């Protein structure tokens, strides 16, 4: 057993779109995931998250580079890798014509698990994911939340060392998201490494041990939430929404003594403040003198969302 459960080396993937056009979806990504951690893989739409997850779970061949699971190249030993990984895909890839229990048992059989163990695990996971009562119903009768829970149960039937989840909570209501997180963290406590991609910032900010931020196929940053927050210019940010934004406001803001840096992102003027407790009223006075009506102003402590905006120039999807 190695301390690093997953490692990628200069991973690249290009898609040929036409005779003249190629998309470089992943442009040479290298990172390590430590055994036992919850690892968040974040990025805006089209950043290359799904392409990366498809490659590290043996579903897609890289154009170049290498991937190691538990120290062994998955390009050389894909079958070995598949035994060590569990995958919860973004789409519903359950067998809808089978019952929930049958989905679990067939998955276990595929991995050569004997009937007794498979049935015992199916009982345990159906119970754990609150599906015991509906275990003999066809999956086509399942709600989205139930199907999502069954996908996770199925993915862990063969006791994977690392569980990959692609946007596991997208489209679920907040209470289901909380339940899923509880279940993922409980699995993590038993030693399973969790690798997940998500759009939502609040979840990994609170729950992931380390986070990688990707954009346009490149790794922008990797670290703990605190390490990532240290990448942005200030702990306190004032966000200002004006009826009309003029680039000259950025220079004017930068000249204010209490402002460390300023930028316009997503049509919002962001002021990175020097002081821990900035004088909000003084900034408000300055804003009111600008020749553009104020629509909204707020002061906040920096969050992962601000790191994301700072590194990618794009907003994330907020939790509702
Ligand atoms: N099979 C494919 N053929 C051609 N282009 C593809 C294919 N899969 C992905 N792409 C392109 O690669 C880029 C990265 O896509 P990918 O789905 O990996 O991003 P993502 O970060 O998962 O985005 P999202 O959050 O929207 O799911 C995009 O430009 C996408 O159009």
| pLDDT tens digits, 255-311 | 998 898 898 888 889 998 887 777 888 899 999 999 899 999 988 888 888 888 888
What pLDDT, on a 0 to 100 scale, did the predictor assign at position 110? 94
Ligand 1 atom at shortest distance from the alpha carbon of 54: 18
What pLDDT, on a 0 to 100 scale, did the predictor assign at position 308? 86
Interface predicted TM-score (ipTM) of this complex, two decimals:
0.96
Of residues 216 and 265, more confidence is placed in 216
Where does residue 250 fall: left (phi above 0), alpha (psi -120 to 50 degrees), or beta otherwise? alpha
Rounded to whole angstroms, how far apart are CA atoms 7 and 201? 24
Rounded to whole angstroms, how far apart are CA atoms 72 and 1? 11
Distance 25 CA to ligand 1 centre (A): 6
What pLDDT, on a 0 to 100 scale, did the predictor assign at position 59? 94
Residue nearest (by alpha carbon) to ligand 1 atom 23? 46
Q: Which residues lie closer than 8 Å to 41 by C-beta, 6 or more apart?
A: 49, 52, 53, 195, 196, 197, 198, 211, 212, 214
Does the beta carbon of 183 sit less than 6 angstroms from any atom of ligand 1? no
Distance 20 CA to ligand 1 centre (A): 18
What pLDDT, on a 0 to 100 scale, did the predictor assign at position 267? 87
What pLDDT, on a 0 to 100 scale, did the predictor assign at position 274? 86
Distance 106 CA to ligand 1 centre (A): 30
Domain boundaries, the chain: 4-229, 236-301
Q: 315: pLDDT confidence band, cut at 50, 70 and 90?
A: low
In the block, residue with structure tokens 């992943």 = 26
Q: How many CB atoms lie within 10 A of CB 97?
A: 10
pLDDT over threshold 60, residue 45: yes
The mean pLDDT of 221-240, rounded to a whole number, is 89
Strand order in 294-301's β-sheet?
A: 259-265, 268-273, 236-242, 294-301
Does the beta carbon of 50 sit less than 6 angstroms from any atom of ligand 1? yes
| pLDDT tens digits, 186-195 | 889 999 999 9
Beta strands per DSSP E along 38-140: 38-42, 64-69, 72-73, 85-88
Ligand 1 atom at shortest distance from the alpha carbon of 217: 14
| pLDDT tens digits, 122-139 | 999 999 888 999 999 999
What percentage of the chain exceeds 90 in pLDDT? Answer: 62
From 11, 12, 25, 41, the mutation candidate for ligand 1 (largest count of ligand atoms within 8 A of CB) is: 25
Contact 149, 125 (CB under 8 A): no
pLDDT over threshold 70, residue 317: no
Strand order in 85-88's β-sheet?
A: 85-88, 162-166, 193-198, 38-42, 210-215, 218-223
Beta strands per DSSP E along 200-288: 210-215, 218-223, 236-242, 259-265, 268-273
Residue nearest (by alpha carbon) to ligand 1 atom 4? 15
Distance 115 CA to ligand 1 centre (A): 39
Task: Point out which residues pair with 219 in neighbouring strands.
Answer: 214
What pLDDT, on a 0 to 100 scale, did the predictor assign at position 318? 44
What pLDDT, on a 0 to 100 scale, did the predictor assign at position 250? 93
Structure token digits, residue 16: 């040929």
In the block, residue with structure tokens 């041990």 = 209
What pLDDT, on a 0 to 100 scale, did the predictor assign at position 127? 92
Number of H-type helices and E-type strands within the chain: 11, 14
Of residues 79 and 265, more confidence is placed in 79
Q: 235: pLDDT confidence band, cut at 50, 70 and 90?
A: confident
| pLDDT tens digits, 15-41 | 999 999 999 999 999 999 999 999 999
Does the beta carbon of 312 sit less than 6 angstroms from any atom of ligand 1? no
Q: Which residues lie closer than 8 Å to 71 by C-beta, 6 or more apart?
A: 2, 4
What's the CATH fold of domain 4-229?
Rossmann fold (3.40.50)
Residue nearest (by alpha carbon) to ligand 1 atom 17? 50
Does the beta carbon of 23 sit less than 6 angstroms from any atom of ligand 1? yes
pLDDT over threshold 50, residue 172: yes
Distance 46 CA to ligand 1 centre (A): 5
Mean pLDDT, all residues of the chain: 90
Residue nearest (by alpha carbon) to ligand 1 atom 6? 15
What pLDDT, on a 0 to 100 scale, did the predictor assign at position 248? 92
Distance 169 CA to ligand 1 centre (A): 19
Where does residue 70 fall: left (phi above 0), alpha (psi -120 to 50 degrees), or beta otherwise? left
Q: Over the Cα atoms of the chain, what is R_g?
A: 23
Contact 283, 270 (CB under 8 A): no
Give the lowest-confidence range in 146-155, 198-207, 261-270. 198-207
From 49, 167, 220, 308, the mutation candidate for ligand 1 (largest count of ligand atoms within 8 A of CB) is: 49
What pLDDT, on a 0 to 100 scale, did the predictor assign at position 209? 95
CATH of domain 236-301: 3.30.70.100
Does the beta carbon of 191 sit less than 6 angstroms from any atom of ligand 1? no
Distance 230 CA to ligand 1 centre (A): 30
Where does residue 104 fall: left (phi above 0), alpha (psi -120 to 50 degrees), or beta otherwise? alpha
pLDDT over threshold 60, residue 316: no
Rounded to whole angstroms, how far apart are CA atoms 231 and 311? 9
What pLDDT, on a 0 to 100 scale, did the predictor assign at position 58? 96
């Amino acid at each position: 057993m190695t301390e690093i459960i997953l490692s990628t080396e200069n991973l690249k993937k290009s898609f040929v779109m036409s005779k003249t056009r190629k998309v470089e979806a992943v442009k040479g990504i290298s990172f390590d995931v430590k055994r036992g951690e919850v690892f968040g893989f974040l990025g805006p739409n089209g950043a290359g998250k799904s392409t990366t997850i498809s490659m590290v779970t043996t579903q897609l061949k890289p154009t170049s580079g290498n991937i190691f699971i538990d120290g062994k190249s998955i390009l050389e030993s894909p079958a070995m890798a598949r035994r060590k990984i569990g995958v919860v895909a973004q789409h519903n890839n359950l067998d809808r014509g089978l019952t929930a229990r049958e989905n679990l048992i067939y998955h276990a059989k595929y991995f050569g698990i004997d009937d007794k163990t498979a049935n015992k695990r199916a009982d345990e996971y159906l119970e754990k994911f609150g599906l015991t009562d509906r275990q003999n119903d066809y999956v086509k009768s399942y709600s989205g939340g139930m199907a999502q829970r069954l996908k996770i149960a199925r993915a862990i039937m063969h006791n994977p060392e690392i569980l990959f989840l692609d946007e596991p909570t997208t489209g679920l209501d907040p209470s289901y998201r909380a339940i899923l997180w509880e279940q993922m963290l409980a699995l993590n406590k038993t030693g399973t490494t969790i690798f997940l991609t998500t759009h939502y910032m609040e979840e990994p900010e609170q729950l992931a041990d380390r986070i990688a931020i990707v954009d346009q196929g490149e790794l922008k940053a990797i670290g703990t939430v605190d390490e990532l927050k240290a990448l942005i210019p200030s702990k306190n940010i004032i966000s200002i929404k004006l009826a009309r934004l003029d680039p000259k406001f950025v220079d004017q803001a930068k000249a204010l003594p209490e402002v460390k840096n300023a930028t316009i992102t997503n049509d919002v003027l962001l002021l990175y403040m020097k002081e821990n407790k900035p004088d909000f009223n003084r900034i408000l006075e300055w804003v009111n003198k600008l020749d553009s009506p104020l629509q909204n102003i707020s002061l906040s402590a920096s969050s992962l969302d601000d790191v994301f905006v700072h590194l990618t120039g794009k907003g994330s999807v907020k939790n509702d």
